[in-house]
Amino acid sequence: MMKWLNSQESFADQYARAIILRADAKFDELDDVSEEAAEADSAVKVQGLRLKADNIKWQLARMNAKKYGDKIQAEHTGADGGPLKFEEIRRTVVDPRDP
């Protein structure tokens, strides 16, 4: 299907737009879930709605990670917060056939 879709430029543009709109609709669904949780009459119902919200957030992060995903930033520092220092770089060639 994707090969055919990509060969039809107008359909590809419409499909891309539909994917964005689907993610935005899912995001709006989170408001409905939170309103339903606020009106819930039991802790069991609230937990079920929490699970539903978590599932929606998981789906959103995969639909559009830049917009709805968690920001992950990793920094590596050396001693006392300074830059990393490489003291030795070693290259070892290994024959995979040698046990």
The Cα 22–Cα 64 span in angstroms is: 10
pLDDT of res. 52: 96
Tokens 């030795």 belong to 88
Beta-carbon neighbour count of residue 59 at 10 Å? 14
Tokens 């339903």 belong to 36
CA distances from 86 to 64, 78, 92 (A): 37, 10, 17
The answer to whether 55 and 29 have CB atoms below 8 angstroms apart is no
pLDDT of res. 67: 86
Which residue positions in the chain have pLDDT lower than 50?
none
The answer to whether 49 and 36 have CB atoms below 8 angstroms apart is yes
pLDDT of res. 37: 95
pLDDT of res. 72: 81
pLDDT of res. 63: 86
pLDDT of res. 1: 62
